[in-house]
Structure 1
Amino acid sequence: MIDQEMLVKPDPEDGRLYQVVGGIDHEGKPVEAAVINERPLTIFLNGREIVTAMTIGDHPEYLALGYLLNQNMLRPDDEVRAVDYDAEIETVVVRTTRQTDYEEKLKKKIQTSGCAMGTVFGDVMEKFETVTLDSQARFHTSWLYGLQKAINTMPSLYLKTGAIHGCVLCEQDRPLIYMEDVGRHNAMDKIAGYMFRHGLTTTGKSLYTTGRLTSEMVIKTVQMGIPVLLSRSGFTAWGVDLARKAGLTLIGRAKGKRFVALAGTERIVFDADPTQAHDEPGHLSRKGSRDDE
């Protein structure tokens, strides 16, 4: 039922995204392990090279669009004439009708804490500070418990290989779009690109991520206009501070029946008995490795 309702879901059987490598285990016995592939993708905007990101290589068009949107280099009302992907030279060219001002934005580029070459530009805060999130939106704890079960048990590259992050666009207790990549910011950008390309609204939506709730993830969520951000991992202080300033509901450490909300708590509706939720032992996840990387 979940698969029928989802617009995009992980494809752990796509052999282009991973490879099997031989090695030995802790007892010195031969083993084989699936390891994720990562490759460069260079993004151009109207003929100008913007950035080269490391990615697993799926959904390159959505990644390019979402990246440019979340860096405030594309506006939501921009008309995109074409998105051209060349697999041989690993490039995506986004072409717009309006002349963009990306050259000035490139001068303000700074490095952030996002893994796998996450970048943010100095003026993204201009858009962040003008966004008004839906104050009437509500998020039910029953939805959280349903999402955790659906997402954590769904076949994915994470379960197959580890070393990867996932982000999920959700509607109430249903996952809609599940993207994975070596960087959580890439997975988020793919969702933003899909929403832009297909005209999806943010009404009734939330975002789930497997990674830390950092400033970058909060900024991207707010810029996308989504009022709720969830994670099974923890927080950074700046991420919490920005979420509070923006009125974003920020829920972390969501494992089993437990969670902690540090911002936007007025949106949370406690409609489920936590004693009835499936609990997880301790603070460890897949194969005993910590999932807050």
Structure 2
Amino acid sequence: MKGADYPILPDPDAPRLTRAVTGTDQTGAEIEIRVVEERPLTIFLNSQEIVTSMTIGDYPEYLALGFLRNQGMLRDDDVVTGIDYDEDIETVVVRTVRETSYEEKVQKKTRTSGCAVGTVFGDMMEGLEGLELPQTELRTSWLYALARQINMTPSLYLKAGAIHGTVLCQGDQPLLYMEDVGRHNAVDKIAGFMFRHDVPAADKILYTTGRLTSEMVIKTAMMGIPALASRSGFTAWGVEIARQVGLTLIGRMRGQRFVCLSGEDRLVRDVDPASVPAEDQKTRRKGASE
């Protein structure tokens, strides 16, 4: 995959993803704006109902695969025989050769701090035992280049707001861009794409617009990606887990600035921050609309 090609991009003009709503502004004048749609998606693994997630509804097959993979319910060697999506009843059924049963695991649900309320399962930390991520270098020149390219990409966020984006990157090239009302869903869509198309993780970077919480760090680690970067901040548990598994963690990326709280020894500072232009919101919006 080449970054310039962007195999999958957000589609701000997809009619199913946003809706026009009429309201009034601060002066009392009537206005019409686009707002993001939000709908339930129920995920089954074979005959068992696993979870119902609130999502914008695009790429449901990737979301289902990625969620199951990040929860440890799909193994690396699992053979998926079918993914059936029924738009009318908002359901995805993932079928595998291996017989599966996760009754006990499903009972251990934990509601997370993610937007739209994320769900993980209570034994997810067990999947991190003994996990050591590849000790891959991360160049600051890549971070600055990625931030600029991603900020200039057309997105649902720029059209309607109330949404998070996550981007799979390699070096200084963005490869795959997903959005959803919850950042956990956007990550799961990328995980599903990687699982479905056998995309290697050891040389990748995950970029997100959302907070670097424990859930985000765990999902990134479970995907085998060694670096996670965000425009937003951190939680203490997210930092602790990142240090435990050897994940390079970069947050508060705005213009020339960022903070590294895990993996400093793998960070290659190969560009002078003073040479990086400050972030300009007007430029970002103009570039994204062209």
Same fold, TM-score > 0.5, yes or no:
yes
- CA deviation string 1:205-262 (max 9, x = no partner): 0000000000000000000000000000000011011111111100000000100000
Structure 2 residue 12 is matched with structure 1 residue 12: yes
1:226 alignment partner, SS class: coil
In structure 1, the residue corresponding to 2:202 is in which secondary structure?
A: coil
Cα pair 1:179 1:187 within 8 Å, conserved:
yes
Q: Distance in 2 between matches of 1:221 and 1:257?
A: 25
Q: Which runs of 5+ in 2 are unaligned?
A: 286-290
Q: Which residue of 1 aligns with 2:219?
A: 220
**What is the rounded CA distance, in whole Å, between the counterparts of 2:117 and 2:77 in structure 1?**
27
Q: Deviations over 1:140-161 (max 9, x none)?
A: 1111111011101110000111
The answer to whether the 8 A contact 1:159-1:286 is kept is no
Q: Note if 1:82 corresponds to 2:78.
A: no
Look up the match of 1:172. 171
Give yes or no for contact 2:118–2:184 (8 Å, CA) kept in 1: yes
- Quote the offset at 1:278 in angstroms: 1.7
Contact kept? 1:73, 1:101, Cα under 8 Å: no
Q: Would you say the 8 A contact 1:21–1:33 is kept in 2?
A: yes
**Residue 160 of structure 1 aligns to a residue in which SS?**
helix
- SS in structure 2 of the partner of residue 130 of structure 1: coil
Q: For the Cα contact (< 8 Å) 1:205–1:226, is it kept in 2? A: yes
Deviates more, 1:105-114 or 1:138-147: 105-114
Q: CA deviation at 1:31?
A: 1.2
Q: Which runs of structure 2 are paired with 1:214-253 in the superposition (5 Å)? A: 214-253=213-252
Match of 1:261 in 2: 260
CA deviation map 1:22-62 (0-9, x unaligned)? 11111111211110001010001111111111000000000
1:145 maps onto 2:144 in alignment: yes
List structure 1 segments (4+ residues) > 3 angstroms apart after TM superposition: none
Measured after TM superposition, the shift of residue 3 of structure 1 is 7.2
Structure 1 residues 269 and 128: alpha-carbon distance in aligned structure 2, compared to 1, 3 A threshold? same
Distance 2:284 2:129 in 1: 37
For 1:175 and 1:280, the matched residues in 2 are separated by 18
Counterpart CA distance in 2 for 1:196 and 1:130 is 21
> Counterparts of 1:6 and 1:286 in 2: how far apart (Å)?
18
Q: Is the 8 A contact 2:152 2:284 kept in 1?
A: no
Partner of 2:288: none
State TM-score, norm by structure 2: 0.94
CA distance in 2, matches of 1:79, 1:4: 31
Partners of 1:258 and 1:4 lie apart in 2 by 25
> The residue matched to 2:237 in structure 1 has which SS?
helix
Measured in 1, the distance between the counterparts of 2:124 and 2:233 equals 24
Q: Determine if contact 2:38/2:55 at 8 Å carries over to the other structure.
A: yes
Deviation at 1:4, TM superposition (A): 4.3
2-structure distance, mates of 1:286, 1:82: 40
Q: Is the Cα–Cα contact under 8 Å of residues 251 and 260 in structure 1 kept in the other structure?
A: yes
Who is 1:194 aligned against? 193
Matched pairs, number = 284
Change (3 A) 1:144 1:184: same
Q: Take 1:281 and 1:61, find their aligned partners in 2: how far apart are those partners? A: 36
SS in 2 for 1:26: coil
Identical residues among aligned pairs (%): 62
Using the alignment, how far apart are the partners of 2:264 and 2:225 within structure 1? 15
Q: Deviations over 1:172-192 (max 9, x none)?
A: 111111000000000000000
Contact 2:206/2:227 (8 A) holds in 1: yes
Deviation at 1:203, TM superposition (A): 2.9
Distance (Å, rounded) in 2 between the aligned partners of 1:140 and 1:107:
42
5+ unaligned residues in a row in structure 1: which ranges?
Answer: 288-293
Distance 1:163 1:286 in 2: 17
Paired residues of 1:22 and 1:32 also in contact (CA < 8 A): yes
TM-score normalized by structure 1?
Answer: 0.93
Paired with 2:124 and 2:69, the residues of 1 have a C-alpha distance of 10
Counterpart in the other structure of 1:72: 72
Deviation per residue, 1:53-109 (Å, 9 max, x gap): 100000000000000111111112111110000011110000111112311211222
The equivalent of 2:59 in structure 1 is 59
One-letter amino acid matched to 2:103: E
